[in-house]
Amino acid sequence: MNKIEIRLKVNDKEICMNVDPTMTLLELLRNKLLLTGTKEGCSTGECGACTVLMDGIAVNACLVLVAQVNQSEIITIEALEQDGQLDRLQQSFIENHAVQCGFCTPGMLMSAKALLLKNPNPTEAEIKIGLSGNLCRCTGYGNIVKAVEGAIESKH
């Protein structure tokens, strides 16, 4: 199969590589770049476990082909923590007990991050809409919404 060259920025690191054009962004992140924080759940865009930011917008990495990410900036869960300091969202998820098994957490955090980048002070209803593409089988969502609200409050 013919490969294509892609250039992109992943977590502030410039990447240039030849890849199979049918590879998904999820496969690139997990299998080629070894960024395994992004989880593979359904592989059909239904669960949100693979959510990353692509040019500041939350996307399901399982639905994006690598050819679509050429010249894009990708942010994964690994980039939220900076210099040993958790992002305020991560800290709030811990403080609000928004994590049980943890499988959905990276996708939830990235969807919440995209929401807060777009709208730094969302209402509870807007938070629920912002997280609506992410499924959690453990928590019932209440503490997840509280965690996003807590991250907003900690900013002020």
Q: Give per-residue pLDDT as tens, 26-57.
A: 999 999 999 999 999 999 999 999 999 999 99
Domain C-terminal end among 77, 109, 129: 77
Domain that holds residue 137: 88-155
- What is the C-alpha to C-alpha distance for residues 57 and 117, in angstroms, rounded to an integer? 9
Residue 8 domain-assigned (yes or no): yes
Residue 65 sits in a domain whose CATH number is: 3.10.20.30
Residue 129 sits in a domain whose CATH number is: 1.10.150.120
CA-closest candidate to residue 104, choices 77, 67, 79? 77
Residue 18 domain-assigned (yes or no): yes
Q: 68-107 pLDDT, tens per residue?
A: 999 999 999 999 999 999 999 999 999 999 998 999 999 9
Residue 82 domain-assigned (yes or no): no
pTM score, two decimals? 0.94
Same domain, 106 and 149: yes
Q: In this structure, which amino acid lies at residue 17?
A: M
- What is the C-alpha to C-alpha distance for residues 76 and 82, in angstroms, rounded to an integer? 12
Percent of the chain with pLDDT over 90: 92
Same domain, 145 and 92: yes
Q: 122-145 pLDDT, tens per residue?
A: 999 999 999 999 999 887 799 999
Please determine, for residue 116, whether its predicted confidence score (pLDDT) is greater than 80.
yes
- What is the C-alpha to C-alpha distance for residues 72 and 144, in angstroms, rounded to an integer? 29
Residue 21 domain-assigned (yes or no): yes
- For 19, the 3-state DSSP assignment is strand
